[in-house]
């Protein structure tokens, strides 16, 4: 049974949008693998450290049920690494559950996986989301197929409740 969720990080991630999912996924009985463009410690906008234990080239996507992309400035840095973008694109193509909150949608935009999808994001990148072919909804959580998106940290409870439910379904189906 697949039991792994990838949490993508880079420097200046939104602390709550990474740490809350990191612990919530573990509480749900799933394993979290923190993935960065390199191994090592990355710090959030407010200084919380999170250690990337693997890189995209080390990930075995066939062992994964989903990916979480937190916001902050991290997605803007992450999308500069083709292997990080390819990981999101590959996971989407395989039908894995993808959760993106706030600026996390920048990775979905870069991976070109939003065309024809309904999604939400932080309002500052709403136009980018629309230009990437998505239909924007101003809701605390939007689900379209295996894609789960939310706007900002205050949406974390409903985002994670929805995401955990979908990940558990993927785990059973795997």
Residues with Cβ within 8 Å of residue 73, at least 6 apart in sequence: 10, 11, 12, 13, 45, 103
Query: SS3 for 75?
Result: helix
Q: Is the pTM of this model over 0.95?
A: yes
pLDDT, residue 2, reads 82
Strand-pairing partners, residue 43, are 49
Q: What is the mean pLDDT of the chain?
A: 96
Residue 171 pLDDT > 90, yes or no? Answer: no
In this structure, CATH architecture of domain 4-173:
3-Layer(aba) Sandwich (3.40)
Q: Are 107 and 113 a contacting pair, CB within 8 Å? A: no
Among 43, 73, 103, 121, the active-site one is 103
d(CA 44, CA 19): 9
Is 102 among the catalytic positions?
yes
Active site residue 59: no
The pLDDT tens digits for 33-68 are: 999 999 999 999 999 999 999 999 999 999 999 999
Nearest 5°: the CA angle 135, 140, 145 is 50
Average pLDDT score over residue span 97-122: 98
In the DSSP assignment, the letter for residue 54 is B
Diameter of the chain by CA atoms? 39
Q: How does pLDDT run across 147-156, given as a tens digit for each residue? A: 999 999 999 9
Mean pLDDT of 101-129: 98
Rounded-to-integer distance, Cα 28 and Cα 40, Å = 25
Angle at 75 between CA 15 and CA 63, to 5 degrees: 90
- Which sequence spans correspond to the domains of the chain? 4-173
Asked if 2 contacts 64 with a C-beta cutoff of 8 angstroms, the reply is: yes
pLDDT for residue 146: 96
- Residue 139's contacts (CB-CB under 8 Å, 6 or more residues apart) are 120, 151
Given the residues 43, 59, 73, 102, select the one marked as catalytic: 102
């Amino acid at each position: 049974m697949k039991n792994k969720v990838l949490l993508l990080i880079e420097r200046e991630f939104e602390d709550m949008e990474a740490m809350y999912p990191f612990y919530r996924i573990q509480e749900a009985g799933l394993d979290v693998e923190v993935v960065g463009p390199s191994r090592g410690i990355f710090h959030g906008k407010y200084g919380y450290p999170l250690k990337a234990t693997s890189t995209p080239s080390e990930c075995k996507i066939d062992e994964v049920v989903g990916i979480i992309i937190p916001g902050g400035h991290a997605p803007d840095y992450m999308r500069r690494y083709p292997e990080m973008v390819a990981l999101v694109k590959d996971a989407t193509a395989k039908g894995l559950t993808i959760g993106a909150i706030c600026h996390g949608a920048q990775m979905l935009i870069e991976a070109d996986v939003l065309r024809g999808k309904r999604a939400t994001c932080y309002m500052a990148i709403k136009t980018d989301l629309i230009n990437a072919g998505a239909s924007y909804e101003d809701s605390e959580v939007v689900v379209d197929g295996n894609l789960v998106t939310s706007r900002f940290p205050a949406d974390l409870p409903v985002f994670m409740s929805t995401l955990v439910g979908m990940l558990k379904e993927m785990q059973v189906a795997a």
